[in-house]
Amino acid sequence: MLYVVGLGPGEKEKMSLEAIEIIKKVEVIVGYTTYVRLIKELVGEKEIVSTGMKQEIDRCKKAIELAKTGKDVAVISSGDAGVYGMAGLILELVSQMDEELAVKVIPGITASIAGAALLGAPLMNDFCHISLSDLMTPWTMIEKRLHAAASADFVICLYNPRSKGRPNHLAKALAIIQQYKSKETIIGLAKDVGRKNEQAILTSIGDIDETLVDMTTVVLVGNKATYLSEGRMITPRGYQL
């Protein structure tokens, strides 16, 4: 059996019981080196296949080959395996095989959900996820999605917002969003959620300090009704109070 497991944001307390049970029972763990370190206390003496960034296809192919030998294998991803994780790639590769292979996807808490809980209740109305990484998606397509989401006044969760290689992507994204939302629109920054340096920062489009944002930050841009109360970011659901 091949399992694709979402680990959640980092700490064991935010992992599902099912994910923990699967990790304990499988014979082989396959994952990005950093993610393997997150679960080192659960791994014990299991066989480990770990690689660095940008080797996702190789990792998934290796996991499939190991599972085809009859071993129980877990491919691990941070957050949810089906949200910018390995579930899609595994299923795409398996669908191209001649023989059948049993695959089960184990969900996990994704960064936006964990970050939202840290910040308050910003996702109480319609929201969407947009990754600002143009490694897989052309920037022109990302811009179209930003225009569509901002014009429809979604709460927008920005993944992969800013890196050394893409230092200006967040600024470009916020410039597009500000065509439809005011500079007073509330923004929540959830940094290193579930990890040692966890931090919640509340700001606005006009006041955001982009240097605080990196690849371990999820940026939550509110809708026109989102407000702050006692240090919490709240998007009303629409109840008449």
Residues in the chain: 241
Distances in Å between the alpha carbon of 16 and those of 5, 11, 169, 195? 10, 11, 33, 16
| Per-residue confidence (pLDDT) for residue 8, from 0 to 100 | 93
pLDDT at 238 over 80: yes
> Tens digits of per-residue pLDDT, 150-185?
999 999 999 999 988 888 999 999 999 999 999 999
- What confidence score (pLDDT) does residue 9 get? 87
Q: pTM of the full predicted structure?
A: 0.92
Do the Cβ atoms of 219 and 170 come closer than 8 Å?
A: yes
> Residue 234 — φ and ψ, nearest 5°?
-130, 130
Q: Could you give all domains of the chain from N- to C-terminal order, each with its CATH number?
A: 2-106 (3.40.1010.10), 111-234 (3.30.950.10)
Q: Are 62 and 16 in contact (CB under 8 A)?
A: no
CA atoms in the 13 A half-sphere facing the CB of 124 = 16
